Amino acid sequence: MGKVIKIAVGVILLGISAFYLLGVYLMITDAREDAAYKLSSSVRAEYLGSEYLGGRMELDGNEEQAEEGYGFYKLKFQLENVSSKVCFSGFDYLISIEGESYEEVKRKLVPSKYCPPDIIPAGAYGTTIPILPGKSQMELVYYVEVQEGVDQLTARYYPSWNEDEVIMELLLKE
């Protein structure tokens, strides 16, 4: 009878140990998934300057006409993804450009070369494709319709989902 009790106690202890090891395995798996989820791209932007284009310009083969009292500026930025994770943010809203008042910036245009139509599925928004691989950099150009007489704009962007917003002052050249 003593052997049966020893075997029963051994089986119970073996079951408790297996249950404990399973719990440890599940906690490690959850921690690994959380760490992978929290890893994000980290993009840095630098303003390179502007160029005044006047009241008319051509973009992607289309001629654009500015409204009366406005002109187009070409704004250049240097983007660098300092992380190893791909950045999936779309160029159309990666950097927000605004003036002191709502009327100072009429619209912002991005060349289609940043979001080629053959990569984007029909009906999909341009931000669904990766734009900047990890540990890489590129020059980004925005065309902005700005009210005449404005000589300074503000650009805002978030380097990553868990970092504070970065604000840049943009001086416009005539």
Q: Of 33-47, 57-71, 76-90, where does the model show the most confidence?
A: 57-71
The whole-number pLDDT of residue 6 equals: 86
The whole-number pLDDT of residue 74 equals: 95
Are 76 and 94 a contacting pair, CB within 8 Å? no
State pLDDT tens for residues 22-45: 888 988 888 777 665 556 778 889
CA–CA separation, 100 vs 98, rounded Å? Answer: 7
pTM over 0.85: no
Burial (0-12, 13-18, 19+ Cβ within 10 Å), 119: exposed
pLDDT greater than 70 at residue 107: yes
